[in-house]
A and B are shown apart, each in its own frame.
Chain A
Amino acid sequence: AQKVTQAQTEISVVEKEDVTLDCVYETRDTTYYLFWYKQPPSGELVFLIRRNSFDEQNEISGRYSWNFQKSTSSFNFTITASQVVDSAVYFCAPPPGSARQLTFGSGTQLTVLP
Chain B
Amino acid sequence: GQQVMQIPQYQHVQEGEDFTTYCNSSTTLSNIQWYKQRPGGHPVFLIQLVKSGEVKKQKRLTFQFGEAKKNSSLHITATQTTDVGTYFCAGQGVSGGGADGLTFGKGTHLIIQP
* A and B held together in a complex: no
What is the interface of chain B, defined by CB distance below 8 A to chain A? Answer: none
